[in-house]
């Protein structure tokens, strides 16, 4: 009889845990916002920094219609090393970033019909979080001051997202 009660108690506890977890997940999903291009309009402008011994320049347009477009250009020793073209598009799920990378000569690093896709997760003032489709990478765009913009890259380590500054830009007047 004692074993039966312990088993029943354990089973009931498991059921309660699962129920509370599902209820919490449902509540979070219902309160989460899908986001809009206004959440990332702080990217607007021209920005420049250094990376890997060279310069990196980025530019984002202000939102127009259902999109924001831009580029990143990396230069080392006076020669282009990489171009990145991107479009943030407003969807029913929120903003989605489509990114393509090119070597000099506009030689695509992705296949013709393929782009890296990052989905909007959340935003707060001057900061937005995106996650790559394959859930391998998260990107934070953060405007730290009126004249500084930082792109942080995150990887999942020990079940926790760890972020580091990838690019630090200063506004180009």
Same domain, 28 and 42: no
C-alpha 56/C-alpha 159 separation (Å) is 32
If one compares 31 and 125, the residue with the highest pLDDT of the two is 125
Residue 12 has pLDDT above 80, yes or no: no
Same domain, 73 and 23: no
Range of the domain at 133: 37-171
The CA–CA distances, whole Å, from 103 to 29, 83, 107 equal 40, 6, 5
If one compares 9 and 173, the residue with the highest pLDDT of the two is 173
Same domain, 111 and 141: yes
**96: how many CB neighbours lie within 10 A of its CB?**
18
Q: Within 13 Å, how many C-alpha atoms sit on residue 141's CB side?
A: 23
Same domain, 44 and 123: yes
Residue 21 has pLDDT above 70, yes or no: no
Same domain, 145 and 87: yes
Same domain, 15 and 89: no
Residue 36 has pLDDT above 80, yes or no: yes
Task: Provide the domain count of the chain.
Answer: 2
Same domain, 61 and 138: yes
Percent of the chain having pLDDT more than 90?
Answer: 78
Same domain, 88 and 158: yes
pLDDT digits (tens, 9 = 90+) for 121-137: 999 999 999 999 999 99
C-alpha 88/C-alpha 22 separation (Å) is 32
Same domain, 51 and 87: yes
Same domain, 14 and 72: no
Same domain, 91 and 130: yes
The CA–CA distances, whole Å, from 97 to 21, 25, 87, 116 equal 31, 25, 6, 8
The CA–CA distances, whole Å, from 73 to 56, 123, 166, 173 equal 6, 26, 14, 17
Same domain, 117 and 95: yes
CATH code of the domain covering residue 150: 2.40.128.20
pLDDT digits (tens, 9 = 90+) for 48-91: 999 999 999 999 999 999 999 999 999 999 999 999 999 999 99
pLDDT band at 5 (very low <50, low <70, confident <90, very high): low
Full-model pTM: 0.79
């Amino acid at each position: 009889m004692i074993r039966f009660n312990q088993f029943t108690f354990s089973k009931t506890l498991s059921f309660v845990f699962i129920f509370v977890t599902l209820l919490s997940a449902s509540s979070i999903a219902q309160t989460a916002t899908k986001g809009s291009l206004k959440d990332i309009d702080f990217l607007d402008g021209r920005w420049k920094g250094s990376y890997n011994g060279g310069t990196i320049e980025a530019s984002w347009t202000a939102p127009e219609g259902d999109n924001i477009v831009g580029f990143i250009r990396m230069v080392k020793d006076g020669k282009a090393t990489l171009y990145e073209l991107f479009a943030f598009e407003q969807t029913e799920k929120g903003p989605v970033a489509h990114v393509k990378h090119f070597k000099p000569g506009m030689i695509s690093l992705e296949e013709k019909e393929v782009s890296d896709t990052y989905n909007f997760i959340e935003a707060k003032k001057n900061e937005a979080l995106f996650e790559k489709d394959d859930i391998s990478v998260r990107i934070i765009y953060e405007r730290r001051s009126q004249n500084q913009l930082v792109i942080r890259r995150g990887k999942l380590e020990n079940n926790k997202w760890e972020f580091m500054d990838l690019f630090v830009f200063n506004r180009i007047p």
